[in-house]
Amino acid sequence: MFAAVYAAEGCDVGVLVDVGRAFSPRLEAHLPREVVLDVDGLTRLFGDARTIATEIRRTAADRKLRVRVAVAGSRVAARLVVRHRAGITVIDPGDGPAGEADTAAVADVPIELLLEVMPSPDGTTADAERVREDQDRVRTLRRWGLRTMGELAALPPDDVAARLGEAGARWWHIARGEDHQPLVPALSEEQFEQSLDLEWPIEGLEPLSFVLGRLLEPLAAHLERRDRGVAVLHVRLHLVNKTVHEQSLQLPTPMRDPKSLRTIALLALESNPPAAGIDRVTVTADPTPARVLQHSLLTRPVPMPEEIATLMARLNALMGEGRCGAPAQVDSWRPGACAVTLYAPDTTTRAATPVLSTPAGQSTTTSPAMALRRFRFPIPARVTVEQGKPVRVATDRRGMAGGRVEMAAGPWRTSGQWWEDGKTSQAPSAVIPWDRDEWDVTLSDGATYRVFTERGTRAWFVDGLFD
pLDDT one-digit tens code per residue, 372-381: 888 888 889 9
- Say yes or no to pLDDT of 357 above 50: no
Assign 397 a pLDDT band (cuts: 50, 70, 90). confident
Predicted pLDDT at 18: 87
Strand partners, 34: 6, 30
- Say yes or no to pLDDT of 348 above 60: no
Predicted pLDDT at 126: 59
Strands 67-72 and 88-90: parallel
- Say yes or no to pLDDT of 287 above 50: yes
Residues 419, 251: Cα–Cα separation, whole Å: 36
pLDDT one-digit tens code per residue, 194-218: 999 998 999 888 899 999 999 999 9
Q: Of the segments 179-188, 330-339, 387-396, which one has the largest average pLDDT value? A: 387-396
Nearby residues of 358 by Cβ (< 8 Å), 6 or more positions away: 364
Question: Which has the closest alpha carbon to 174: 70, 96, 103?
Answer: 103
Strand partners, 281: 196, 237
- Say yes or no to pLDDT of 29 above 90: no
Element (H, E) at 81: helix 75-84
Predicted pLDDT at 370: 77
Question: Which has the closest alpha carbon to 270: 226, 230, 235?
Answer: 235
- Say yes or no to pLDDT of 432 above 80: no
Predicted pLDDT at 321: 72
Nearby residues of 28 by Cβ (< 8 Å), 6 or more positions away: 35, 36, 75, 183, 184, 185, 186
Task: Determine which of 210-224, 308-322, 375-389, 442-456 has the lowest per-residue pLDDT on average.
Answer: 308-322
Tell me the C-alpha to C-alpha distance, in Å, between residue 225 and each of 159, 218, 289, 299: 52, 11, 12, 31
Q: Does pTM surpass 0.85?
A: no
Assign 427 a pLDDT band (cuts: 50, 70, 90). low
Assign 67 a pLDDT band (cuts: 50, 70, 90). very high
**Length of the chain, in residues:** 467
Radius of gyration of the chain (CA): 37
- Say yes or no to pLDDT of 355 above 50: no
pLDDT one-digit tens code per residue, 445-463: 888 999 999 888 889 999 9
Q: Can you tell me the mean pLDDT for 67-91?
A: 91
Predicted pLDDT at 364: 52
Assign 81 a pLDDT band (cuts: 50, 70, 90). very high
Residues 60, 255: Cα–Cα separation, whole Å: 41
Mean pLDDT of the chain: 83
Burial of residue 91 (number of CB atoms within 10 Å: 0-12, 13-18, 19+): buried
Predicted pLDDT at 109: 92
- Say yes or no to pLDDT of 249 above 80: yes
* CATH 3.30.1490.100 is held by the domain 196-347: yes
Residues 356, 190: Cα–Cα separation, whole Å: 53
Q: Of the segments 6-20, 77-91, 121-135, 281-295, which one has the largest average pLDDT value? A: 77-91
Predicted pLDDT at 195: 92
Residue 123 CA to chain centroid, in angstroms?
25
- Say yes or no to pLDDT of 281 above 90: yes
- Say yes or no to pLDDT of 444 above 80: yes
Helix segments in 233-388, DSSP class H: 258-271, 305-319
Domain 2-175 class in CATH: alpha beta
Predicted pLDDT at 365: 54
Assign 122 a pLDDT band (cuts: 50, 70, 90). low
Q: Can you tell me the mean pLDDT for 8-24?
A: 86
Instruction: Kindly state the percentage of the chain with pLDDT values over 70.
Output: 86
Residues 103, 112: Cα–Cα separation, whole Å: 17
Domain boundaries, the chain: 2-175, 196-347, 372-466
In sign, the C-alpha dihedral spanning 404, 407, 410, 415 is negative
Task: Determine which of 144-158, 348-362, 420-434 has the lowest per-residue pLDDT on average.
Answer: 348-362
Predicted pLDDT at 56: 92
